[in-house]
Structure 1
Amino acid sequence: MKRYLIFIIPLLMFTSCKKFLDVQPESDVDKEQLFNTEDGFEEALNGVYSRCTKADLYAGNLTFSNLDIMAQNYTFSNTDFQKIASFQYSQNILKDKNSQIWSSVYNAIGNCNEILQVIDKQKAVFSGNNYAIIKGEALALRAYLHFDLLRMFGASYKSNPNAKGIPYVTTVSIKSTPFSSVGEVINNAIVDLRNARALLSTTDPILSPAYIVGYPNKTYPDGYVGPKQTETMVSSLFLQNRRHRLNYYAVCGELARVYLYKNDYQNALSNATDVINANKFPWTQKDDAFNNNVEQKDRVFYNELVFGWYAPQANDDNALVTLFSAANIAQYQPTPMQLDNIYEKNTVGAEDWRYRQWFFTATDVTPNRSYLVKYLVNSSPLKNLHPLMAPGFRLTEAYYIAAEAIYDSNPTKAIEYLNTVRTHRGIIDLLPATLGRSAFMNELVKEARKEFYGESQIFYMYKRLNLDIVAANGQIYPASNSIYVFPVPDDEKAYNN
């Protein structure tokens, strides 16, 4: 792997290999000082999350943009978007995007490794459970980032587990890391995630019964005596909002996701049900999803997020303003008919909460277009009910994983899992318990597409299952490595050669 050297200073600036070498003596001093204190480790870890929530990663490319375009969720007039949607990897727009993703992910991984390289030597500087929490999160981040990169640049496990994957980087070194196979990358990610889960299993504040998930800006009626969120009530700022970080349940969810990719249904089910049975993440209530008061409206089903990337700056980078707005209505938006088909308006989906609440239809353009308001931020000075989040792992995904993983041994339970999600999305027509496997998988994929709109996870699902991709105009892109495996950036190939 091409070495993306990073030095960490108190503001966690990132730089290139050449610049690193130019200033190495000064940066080494800064890094040594940073990792001499608990605050320094906290700052370094916060820096990784901050890096991941830039527009080139989870506040853009890996949530709202490229992968969702490839999943054929939109209709375009913009030629660059058309090139992305048709998998024209030789075009500069995709070459540049993929190179940006590759280098940015490894940049973030490098900063995880900076933490992990020294944390065991510095255990004495930590108070409470912070050593285990910081190390656990750093391991989980390293695995999460590698796995997402593999799901783009490697073949699917289903197609060839022995195919060339990506480098799995665990050290800080000027030496390149060789590429691992798809199966090896998955196994390495599992090791990191299992170690992270062990560290967090007795230390994560989210495990406490006193930790109550909820809306930070909820207005309660006079006399309300029910539970209220405690996520922001912890005295330590670092330990607040555990769902904005890779917490214990998020690690279980990611493990379930990775095991399912490997077709290890037993472990996928075990980890998915750990999330489900925790009863930590309450289903969104209709009154919150449909609230006419924009300050009290849950647009993203916030309480169901097991983990999300806290990305308030997504609009600052214009990622969302540019994509999901009336100003861009003719370039990057679905048609109402396209949404009607995705959400099955004419059969079971007319009352689907997602269909009714996530989109606004503009009738002043021809043809009419709809735009996504899932990530709408209220204009100042109004507050949102919840912060702007890029979903990382949803409660519903745990149900989808559990359903798929258990079907062969208990199809009735699998269909029950899927019906549970449908019921909490306003779909009153239940799937029959006699549904055969092929029909069940078809319903599961349709359901996931509805849930993951604007989140990119559906592209990964199509790839994992080796499904053909069908564009809005009916064009079929047959499942193959030519659409599902992103080319490794040219400079990376040159470096490894």
Structure 2
Amino acid sequence: MRKGFLKYSLWILVCFSMVACNDWLDVKPKTEMEAEDMFSTEDGFKDALAGVYTAMTKSSLYGRELTYGIVDVVAQQWGGIGSNHRYANALKYEYEATNTKPIIDTLWNGLYNAIANANSILAYIDNSKAVFTGDNKQIIKGEALALRAFMHFDLLRLFCADATSASAEDGIPYVNELTKQVTVSVSPKDVTEQIIKDLKEAATCLANDPVLTGREVSASDDNGYLINRNYHLNYYAVMGLMARVYMYAGNPTEARKSAIAVLEAHENRELFPWSTRGDVLNEKKELRDRTFSTEHLFALNIRKLKDYIEGSFTGTSVPLLMRISPGSLFVAGNDFRSFFFETTNYIGDVPSKLWQMDGITVEGQLYTPKRDRMPMIRLSEMYYIVAECDKATPSVAVARLNEVLANRGYEDTELLDASVVNSGDAVQEEILKEYQREFICEGQLFFYHKRMKDEKLNGYTVNYVFPKPENELEFGK
């Protein structure tokens, strides 16, 4: 992240908060002058964009709660949560409890603050007199639009019952401009339509994204601004997100088209290559690629991840443990993913997917692992989406699932048998198992259960709708 962001972050995060409350009364003209100064140069826009990504990495958002934290808890991913645990009430869907409601309120406020950052970029970029390098103006705009859509989508999935209701009372604000006025809620249906609109415009803006055009960039080009595109919501990440949105909205035809665009780039251009056994199961544990990083369409670079997981998976005698034991979940002995459970503090089967290793020195040479990465959108999800869309022809869907499994270490004799997985329901059952295996610590299992309308999990009747903050109910209607 760019150092210059820190100079300007305060006014964006505080003064441009989109949450419906009286804080708007404190906005002063000085902030407009600061904004004009910030957005007078290309570097200012880059700094502001970096600020959006940085805001998302907080432990209250994707650094914990929206990944391995409360969202995995309510998916019943974790077992052994005792009555004194911070997630004890969340586990039972007691969202109004004093140890749960603040977590949820902070999710709402944090996501809307990050959306405000994106909107600050979009408010200035079209009329900016700044001189941009190459295609950077459109790429920055495309990423800001995609980020706005990404976070509104998670707000929709968390705080609305579904994506189809036409009632504004069931919805949330879709904040697409900077304003001192309260932004009222619109219906989930309207939110979904605006998300798709933003994503389509983002894809148009990203038409010259190097990941799409194939243009080679290096660290010496524009100070390396366009390298490591999977740390940004790049063109193919937008396609992946669009597939996810369409699937959630009940439009498998369009979901399949978007997912296939990613798979074709992967299969024909070798983009987002499968992680290899050597990378994932390196004999030196310090160097293992624990999140299969080459396959990330989009990941957040979370520099504090080592600190964030302390108390959840490291440095504790009561770590989060899988509710379904790894021995039951991973039936293939060679599944790469089954190796990321370790014994620590005399406790077995501790998930080590997010362990942050410091590297190792071999013959005087320091080797560092691929760390500080939180997957947001994965290649494998695109295969699952296409398989689900094709489940009416089970043999076709099974072939898609087996493509993933073969690249997770399955031997030929361990792959799915199309003569056994021979119905749409059987395909769906295998997809559920893959969500349980693939997205540990990533927060996607809850949304899968919600989309499938599973009424009970682990014996609990599921409440899929987080309560909105009181100030939103008071001011935002």
- When the two structures are superposed, what TM-score results if normalisation uses the length of structure 2? 0.89
Q: Does 1:457 align with 2:449?
A: no
SS at 1:376 equivalent:
coil
SS at 1:361 equivalent:
strand
Which one-letter code corresponds to 1:359 in the other structure?
A: F
Structure 2 partner of 1:432: 417
SS at 1:308 equivalent:
strand
CA displacement, residues 301-356 of structure 1 (integer Å, 9 cap, x when unaligned) = 010011101111223xx32122111x323252237x7222232xxxx333211112
Asked if 2 retains the 8 angstrom alpha-carbon contact of 1:233 and 1:240, the reply is no
Selected match of 1:371 from 342, 350, 357: 350
Asked if 1 retains the 8 angstrom alpha-carbon contact of 2:156 and 2:191, the reply is yes
Structure 2 partner of 1:204: 209
SS at 1:393 equivalent:
strand
Asked if 1 retains the 8 angstrom alpha-carbon contact of 2:39 and 2:130, the reply is no
Q: Does 1:10 align with 2:7?
A: yes
Structure 2 Cα separation of the partners of residues 264 and 270 of structure 1? 10
Structure 2 partner of 1:227: none
Asked if 2 retains the 8 angstrom alpha-carbon contact of 1:329 and 1:371, the reply is no
Asked if 1 retains the 8 angstrom alpha-carbon contact of 2:286 and 2:358, the reply is no
CA displacement, residues 273-311 of structure 1 (integer Å, 9 cap, x when unaligned) = 111110201111111111122453211101001110111
Selected match of 1:330 from 318, 326, 334: 318
Structure 1 unmatched ranges of 5 or more: 1-7, 212-229
Structure 2 Cα separation of the partners of residues 27 and 210 of structure 1? 38
Structure 1 Cα separation of the partners of residues 345 and 223 of structure 2? 49
Deviation at 1:82, TM superposition (A): 1.8
- When the two structures are superposed, what TM-score results if normalisation uses the length of structure 1? 0.85
Structure 1 Cα separation of the partners of residues 209 and 196 of structure 2? 19
Structure 2 Cα separation of the partners of residues 451 and 206 of structure 1? 25
Deviation at 1:92, TM superposition (A): 1.4
Structure 2 partner of 1:225: none
Structure 2 partner of 1:66: 70
Determine what percentage of the aligned residue pairs are the same residue. 34
Structure 2 unmatched ranges of 5 or more: 361-365
Structure 2 partner of 1:170: 176
Provide closer, same or farther for how the CA distance between residues 449 and 477 of structure 1 changes in structure 2, counting only shifts above 3 A: same
CA displacement, residues 393-439 of structure 1 (integer Å, 9 cap, x when unaligned) = 0000011111111223x432211111111111123322232420111
Structure 2 Cα separation of the partners of residues 186 and 412 of structure 1? 32
Asked if 1 retains the 8 angstrom alpha-carbon contact of 2:41 and 2:130, the reply is no
Structure 1 partner of 2:342: 360
Asked if 1 retains the 8 angstrom alpha-carbon contact of 2:237 and 2:377, the reply is yes
Structure 2 partner of 1:487: 467
Structure 2 partner of 1:314: 305
Asked if 2 retains the 8 angstrom alpha-carbon contact of 1:245 and 1:308, the reply is yes
Deviation at 1:445, TM superposition (A): 0.6
Provide closer, same or farther for how the CA distance between residues 68 and 41 of structure 1 changes in structure 2, counting only shifts above 3 A: same
Asked if 1 retains the 8 angstrom alpha-carbon contact of 2:341 and 2:348, the reply is no
Structure 1 partner of 2:390: 406
Structure 2 Cα separation of the partners of residues 206 and 184 of structure 1? 31
Structure 2 partner of 1:260: 247
Structure 2 Cα separation of the partners of residues 101 and 453 of structure 1? 20
Which one-letter code corresponds to 2:332 in the other structure?
A: G
Structure 2 partner of 1:396: 380
Structure 2 Cα separation of the partners of residues 116 and 63 of structure 1? 27
SS at 2:273 equivalent:
coil
Which one-letter code corresponds to 1:342 in the other structure?
A: L
Provide closer, same or farther for how the CA distance between residues 111 and 404 of structure 1 changes in structure 2, counting only shifts above 3 A: same
Asked if 1 retains the 8 angstrom alpha-carbon contact of 2:166 and 2:189, the reply is yes
Structure 1 Cα separation of the partners of residues 328 and 173 of structure 2? 40
Structure 1 Cα separation of the partners of residues 102 and 386 of structure 2? 37
Provide closer, same or farther for how the CA distance between residues 232 and 241 of structure 1 changes in structure 2, counting only shifts above 3 A: farther
Structure 2 Cα separation of the partners of residues 302 and 390 of structure 1? 9
Provide closer, same or farther for how the CA distance between residues 251 and 297 of structure 1 changes in structure 2, counting only shifts above 3 A: same
Alignment of 1:25-104 (within 5 A): 25-75=29-79, 76-77=81-82, 78-104=84-110
Provide closer, same or farther for how the CA distance between residues 384 and 20 of structure 1 changes in structure 2, counting only shifts above 3 A: farther
Structure 1 Cα separation of the partners of residues 76 and 97 of structure 2? 18
Which one-letter code corresponds to 1:265 in the other structure?
A: P
Q: Does 1:416 align with 2:407?
A: no
Structure 2 Cα separation of the partners of residues 383 and 492 of structure 1? 49
Deviation at 1:451, TM superposition (A): 0.1
Structure 2 Cα separation of the partners of residues 116 and 299 of structure 1? 35
SS at 2:230 equivalent:
helix
Selected match of 2:112 from 106, 110, 120: 106
Which one-letter code corresponds to 1:361 in the other structure?
A: T
Structure 2 Cα separation of the partners of residues 145 and 493 of structure 1? 20
SS at 1:484 equivalent:
coil
Deviation at 1:178, TM superposition (A): 1.8
Which one-letter code corresponds to 1:432 in the other structure?
A: D
Structure 2 Cα separation of the partners of residues 168 and 235 of structure 1? 34
Structure 1 Cα separation of the partners of residues 210 and 313 of structure 2? 35
Structure 1 partner of 2:363: none
Asked if 2 retains the 8 angstrom alpha-carbon contact of 1:329 and 1:369, the reply is no
User: Number of residue pairs matched?
Assistant: 450
Structure 2 Cα separation of the partners of residues 459 and 257 of structure 1? 14
Structure 2 Cα separation of the partners of residues 459 and 263 of structure 1? 17
Which deviates more from structure 2 when the two are superposed, residues 264-273 or residues 139-148?
Answer: 264-273
SS at 1:31 equivalent:
helix
SS at 1:278 equivalent:
helix
Asked if 2 retains the 8 angstrom alpha-carbon contact of 1:467 and 1:478, the reply is no
Which deviates more from structure 2 when the two are superposed, residues 162-171 or residues 129-138?
Answer: 162-171
Asked if 2 retains the 8 angstrom alpha-carbon contact of 1:155 and 1:161, the reply is no
Structure 1 Cα separation of the partners of residues 219 and 236 of structure 2? 18
Provide closer, same or farther for how the CA distance between residues 161 and 416 of structure 1 changes in structure 2, counting only shifts above 3 A: farther
Structure 2 Cα separation of the partners of residues 232 and 238 of structure 1? 8
Asked if 2 retains the 8 angstrom alpha-carbon contact of 1:165 and 1:179, the reply is yes
Structure 1 Cα separation of the partners of residues 6 and 441 of structure 2? 34
Structure 2 Cα separation of the partners of residues 164 and 294 of structure 1? 48
